[in-house]
Amino acid sequence: MQMTLGKSKSQALPPLDEHSEYRPIKELVHRLKSELNAKTAERTKLIDRQNATSHKSVVQVLVEQYREGTPTVDARFSLNEQLASSSRHIRALVIALEQAEKDERAIRIKVSISMADAHKDLVREHARTVLQGMLLIQRGNQAITALCESRRALGYTEYFHPVGMSDWPQWGDIEASNSPWSMILREFVEAGYITSAEHHRLTHGSLDFQP
């Protein structure tokens, strides 16, 4: 089995925020958040003004306003109306933002699936490289095992230690239908990374595989 390591292939994609379908909804969410923050700050100021005059009678408030030259018929009533109006706007903005964020998540998923599909062929190619590596680990460790067993058969004390960063012995027999190897290969077939013919060869004794 031959293996040539080359530079990983990739395909450039635009940032999600620049995608033509996603950008408008992202901008809408940003605008609604800004408006909600502004309205919330406005209501906070109105509440502070209300608290500042809550201990005063309407007449006292009007006296102060007359002295300032800005009298109103009922300053407290006007302030309450402003608070009520601000609260209504905030409730509407919260609902609008929740709906926009829901739409944003849906479009994000839709666009992400589309972009993942654009990488489908490259993912398949890299997945086959992974499988080739796994088969090389299988083949190499089997050869090391055979050497250990041959020395043991001659009376030597031998302990097998698998080589590599993988828990290779736990993969089981590649030809056994209930082994981890079997499950991995079925996943490769279902994902379209290998063909049924390749799966049949691998599970019937052949470790030769080209990505």
Read off the pLDDT of residues 4-54 as tens digits, 9 standing for 90 and up. Answer: 544 556 667 789 998 999 999 999 999 999 999 999 999 998 888 777 766
Query: Which positions ≥6 away from 141 have C-beta within 8 Å?
Result: 162, 163, 164, 168, 169
Read off the pLDDT of residues 67-98 as tens digits, 9 standing for 90 and up. Answer: 777 666 555 567 778 888 999 999 999 999 99
CA of residue 104 relative to chain centroid, distance: 14
Give the mean pLDDT of 181-199: 93
Whole-number pLDDT of residue 189: 95
Q: What is the distance between the alpha carbons of residues 125 and 210, in angstroms, rounded to a whole number?
A: 10
Task: Using the Cα atoms of residue 78, residue 80, residue 82 and residue 85 in order, give the sign of their dihedral.
Answer: negative
